[in-house]
Amino acid sequence: MSLTLEVVPLTLDRVRKSAHPVFPVRVLDGMSSALVVFAAGFYGAQDAIHVADAGLVGTCVDVDADKLLLMEAMYPEGWEFRVADAFAFARTWRHAHRRWDIVTVDSPTNLFDRCAADVEVWCDLAWRTVVLGTGVETAVEVPEGWRVSDVVQRSDYRGGVFWTVLERC
């Protein structure tokens, strides 16, 4: 018996078809740049694809070099892809005063608390908005000058996974 495997190329259109629909796309209106940390797990189906479709230029950060390489081949010209620990990357660029219009933080669930503890770092990197992955028990201490403008449920996993949207007031 012989087995034939069909290799279907990964394209942005395929990522788009698997895109998770609840990302709060309204916050992308009028923005031009995005920092997408923890970007590569599903090639951006949860966040980066929405950022690309809204016409922003993204900087994607992840520790998974192979997936980032595949993303680099698919996403529009001008996007940056950086293999790095997201926390170290954030501290470096915070120190260098680099900012993006929006920062999205889609960490694995076991890093929700650590990401929430670093909320000030993500906010310092964003001119306008931070979209933070959170769980039911994640405590987010909102930095001065910021407010939580929306909390969107993404799934029922472990009692609920959410996008918590923080915006500069």
Q: Pick the piece of the chain touching ligand SAM (CB under 6 A) from 24-32, 37-45, 73-81, 156-164.
A: 37-45
Per CB under 6 A, 51 contacts ligand SAM: no
Q: What are phi and psi of 63, to 5 degrees?
A: -85, -10
- Smallest distance, ligand SAM to C-beta of residue 41, A: 3
Per CB under 6 A, 116 contacts ligand SAM: no
Closest residue by beta carbon to ligand SAM: 41
Per CB under 6 A, 62 contacts ligand SAM: yes
Count of chain residues binding ligand SAM (CB under 6 A): 20
Per CB under 6 A, 27 contacts ligand SAM: no
**CA dihedral in degrees (153, 154, 156, 160; nearest 10)?**
-50
Helix, strand or coil, per DSSP, at residue 74: helix
Per CB under 6 A, 41 contacts ligand SAM: yes
Helix, strand or coil, per DSSP, at residue 26: helix
Question: CA 135, CA 157: separation in Å to the nearest integer?
Answer: 9
Q: Which of 33, 43, 39 is nearest to 82 (CA)?
A: 39
Site residues (vs ligand SAM, CB under 6 A): 38-48, 61-64, 85-86, 106-108
